[in-house]
Structure 1
Amino acid sequence: MNRLLISALILLLQGCSAIKLGYQQLPTLSYWWLDSTVSFSGPQSTGAKQAIDNLYQWHRREELPAYAELLQRASQLSAGPVQAEHVCRIWTDVQSRLDTLMREAVVHAAPVAMALGPRQLSHMARHWESKNEEWEKEWLQGSDSERLQRRLDKALERYRSFYGELNPAQISLIKSQLAQSPWTAEWGRQDRQRRQQDLLSALQRISQTVLTPAQAEAQLWGVWQHWLQPPDASQRAVMESLAQRTCENLAQLHNTTSPEQRQQVARRLRAYDRDIRDLIKP
């Protein structure tokens, strides 16, 4: 379920050729990722592949047109100066689409979750431990300045894929934004582990209790809701602050860009729109 969400987001951020190729390979890539996480048995593997394919077919038919409309709006918005509320409005619509995706995803994921046993859940826990070690090596090691530099390198890579080369003042602005962000590697690790535990606990309840498919769906939907709105008030406050800061930071950076940089963004978004519309065609 989480992998499908991440893949959908990546479609909005990758190069044009990658959208077509990546989306068409999404069922296979999603299954490989899930299998590496839980290590399906034979019958479980068949059910997982069918669930992924059903979700993919639904998404291509029902959701891609809405993505194309969002890209058109973003392209028009990028042509001139923007305000934080404009960016947040786009993100709110993206979030709505993700909620719709996850509503459908839990329907297909529930039978797969109900078939998991202790061996798969133990494999998942060990897999996450290994991945968490890799994450900590990347984000927690080194001095504060070294950590900030790694975050800056990642951010610049993303921004350059849209705007092209950035000038020194823009790079300095992005570095300042990161330094002032409420996100820290320590908080990131805590939030990552929280999400993992939310999902693992739900899967354990599903596997250890006699539930109907609707009850299993409710358990998975609850995980998604907790990911977005943590029960802990302090965690929730950080997430809300991060969302607002993201809108403000993107608007601030965009308003420093040159006409050429804005044209590049608009061209990229229009190309994404064309690729998605090609995928919609029967």
Structure 2
Amino acid sequence: MPLLNSGTLVRAGGVVRRWCAIICLLAAGLTLTGCGAVRLAYNNAPDLTYWWLDGFLDLDSTQSVRLRSDLNALQAWHRKEELPAVAEMLKNLQAASPQPVAGDQVCQLSRYLEGRFQAVLDRATPTAIALGPTLSNAQLDHLARSWDKRNAEWREEWLDGSPQERLSRRLKTTIERAEGFYGRLTDVQKALIRSQLESSPFDAAIQYKEVLRRQKDALQTLRALKAGAPSEIHVQAEMRALLLRSLQSPDTTFVQYTERVRSHFCESAAELHNATSPAQRTKLQQTLQGYENDVRALMQR
């Protein structure tokens, strides 16, 4: 349960996918380790999102004005409509924290967060559809170079080195994330996490292949729209189809793989939670209470 975060549920890919990864910060404030950081990140999310996307797309003045306006409107909508649901979720998690959990309960939470994420995405879709076709060939070349740089960084983190080195990096990240919720873990609990990672169906090569598919699909679709003189209806249809392919892979093998990863994650998160002490579960409650306080404060702004 506490290991669940947007980075686990959403893997960045094509241009729309990368947009969604940032927007997901607005959907659930559970990716930051410090409670006060949630307020800071949320309040500055439109600016942070804009500069992040501009780094990939090198936006012109017209595109910038549209994007900044839409991001501010998205945040205003999310503050009013979605934050109450996030606050209620955090309250419910606190009540459940002292009790054992089952893997299917973790997966239920996972799918609930995906639903909240989807609501934000639906709200942001018109912006993505409007922005994509306006990208020039030079901007698409800039995007391709930015992706190449990011891909090299991703390979270094997830694919380079020996299997043991890759496992050590994943173990370090997972332990740090868990300790952000439960406090310091025991050696036995760390060994449990290591065993879970060793048995995980996660395969960085499969993930990377899907990332490259999404990037190639996005560039090909956007370049094709620039090459012809399609009607507005055709443009919107192509962009909506690209969005769908970016969020729901047409590769059935990858879809089945992600479900195996999800199932293993849910069981692992439940197993770790059930191995925690009363003091660690109290720490989890306190951490979630801090997040809830932040969310409710953000609702009042």
Cα separation, 2, equivalents of 1:99 and 1:216: 22
1:130 to 149, 153, 157: 149
Q: After superposition, what is the alpha-carbon deviation per residue over 1:217-273, rounded to whole angstroms, capped at 9, x for unaligned?
A: 554444444344322221111101111111111000000000010111111111111
Deviates more, 1:45-54 or 1:90-99: 45-54
1:230 to 234, 238, 249: 249
Contact 1:162-1:264 at 8 Å conserved across structures: yes
Contact 2:23-2:49 at 8 Å conserved across structures: no
1:196 to 209, 215, 229: 215
Q: After superposition, what is the alpha-carbon deviation per residue over 1:27-67, rounded to whole angstroms, capped at 9, x for unaligned?
A: 11001000000001122221221121121211112111111
Per the alignment, residue 281 of structure 2 pairs with 262
Change (3 A) 1:160 1:47: same
Change (3 A) 1:69 1:200: farther
Per the alignment, residue 66 of structure 1 pairs with 85
Change (3 A) 1:228 1:246: farther
Residue correspondence of structure 1 range 99-248 to structure 2 within 5 A: 99-208=118-227, 210-212=230-232, 218-248=237-267
Contact 2:94-2:289 at 8 Å conserved across structures: yes
Per the alignment, residue 23 of structure 1 pairs with 42
1:4 to 17, 22, 26: 22
Q: What is the letter of the counterpart of residue 210 of structure 1?
A: P
Q: Over the residues paired in the alignment, what is the CA RMSD in angstroms?
A: 1.9
TM-score by length of 2: 0.87
Question: Offset at 1:128?
Answer: 0.2
Question: Offset at 1:197?
Answer: 2.8
Question: Offset at 1:205?
Answer: 4.5
Change (3 A) 1:28 1:42: same
Per the alignment, residue 59 of structure 2 pairs with 40
TM-score by length of 1: 0.92
Q: What is the letter of the counterpart of residue 71 of structure 1?
A: L
Question: Offset at 1:210?
Answer: 3.0
Question: Offset at 1:274?
Answer: 1.1
Provide structure 1 residue ranges, at least 5 long, that are not aligned to the other structure. none
Cα separation, 2, equivalents of 1:258 and 1:122: 53
| SS class of match (2:184) | coil
Contact 1:55-1:104 at 8 Å conserved across structures: yes
Cα separation, 1, equivalents of 2:63 and 2:89: 36
Cα separation, 1, equivalents of 2:52 and 2:75: 15
